[in-house]
Amino acid sequence: MDFGKLADLSGVDFTFPEDPAFSRAFLDALPERRQPAHIFLGCTGWAMPQWVGKWYPAGAKSKDFLYHYAKQFNTIELNTTHYRIPSLDMVRQWCDSVPPDFRFCPKVPQTISHDRQLALGTPAVRAFAESVAEMGDRLGCCFLQLPPYFGPDRLRLLEAFLADWPAQLPMAVEVRHEDWFAQPRHIEALADLLAAYETAAVITDVAGRRDVLHLFVTAPRTLIRFVGNDLHPTDYRRADDWVARILQWTAGARLPEVYFFSHQPDNILSPELALYLWQQLTAGANFETRPPKPVPADGESGQMSLF
């Protein structure tokens, strides 16, 4: 992910912002739940030969990488779908490779997200919806990553898209145009729209664009995209800030689902940050989640176990 990346972090103010009034009111209005919140921790891809011998067992084959990935993480930011709509057979193969507690978060194809009219009136939106619906209970939350030119003047177009999107398929939206954040009325109008359609606002934490760390919570779930810098000390300080805020948001189990995606350069060190976050989170509360665990030095032996 190149968006917002910086080579020099010396001038960055990493101060974690306060929750906007909208989020405080939204979270206070959510009903308390008896069950603990579900925390989904994951990365942005499973095709990582660099993880063999550390996060995947020694000798792991590329055809089995998703299986091994899903033993380590319980979600994934599924970028594959940004480039093509997967066939139903492909979706079934993915779902057969992961345990019941795993959730895919597929990105809306760029033929939709980067189309000037969000592909409304074309078969593309329906085709994508039918494809991800095949995931059944393995579907976490789809997300629409809008291009940099998609500004507040297109809010009504986004509303038309959300009105057309099947309500039973959870959706999240990420905006990047600077004008969304230049005036409070623009991001607040977006938050009102997203909340009306029970759509999450994607929160991105990246060095070069601190404005997209907006902390708007607009649905009973939130998606956090954390972009680190090769485990620089600031990565850990930022992760600590996120631990404190997630604990606050999920207090009383009001926010039932949190998806946290760890980005690092080339994805290589993403598991280390995810593990650190899990360790700090579970020291402060009880969640439905599971951590990544480095494999033994001699790998795994024997046949693959059933989930």
SS3 65: helix
Average pLDDT over residues 215-226: 98
- Distance (Å) of CA 3 to CA 200, 219, 225: 20, 25, 11
Average pLDDT over residues 268-289: 92
pLDDT at 300: 44
pLDDT at 284: 79
pLDDT at 306 over 90: no
From the CA atom positions of the chain, what is the Rg in Å? 19
What is the share, in percent, of the chain residues with pLDDT greater than 90?
87
Identify the CA nearest to 88 among candidates 151, 154, 134.
134
pLDDT at 253: 63
Give the bridge partners for 145, in sequence order. 174
Higher pLDDT, 290 or 68: 68
Task: Output the CA angle 128-129-135, nearest 5 degrees.
Answer: 100
| Contact in structure between 78 and 106 (CB atoms under 8 Å) | yes
pTM above 0.85, yes or no: yes
Helix axes 155-164, 184-196, angle to 10 degrees: 10
pLDDT at 298: 60
pLDDT at 1: 65
N-to-C CA span, the chain:
32
pLDDT at 35: 84
pLDDT at 283 over 50: yes
Domains and CATH numbers, the chain: 61-282 (3.20.20.410)
* Burial class (CB within 10 angstroms; exposed 0-12, middle 13-18, buried 19+) of 300: middle
20-61: pLDDT as tens digits: 999 999 999 998 888 889 999 999 999 999 999 999 999 999
pLDDT at 304: 38
| Averaged pLDDT of the chain | 94
Two structure tokens written together for 139 = 């579907």
Identify the CA nearest to 146 among candidates 118, 188, 124, 174.
174
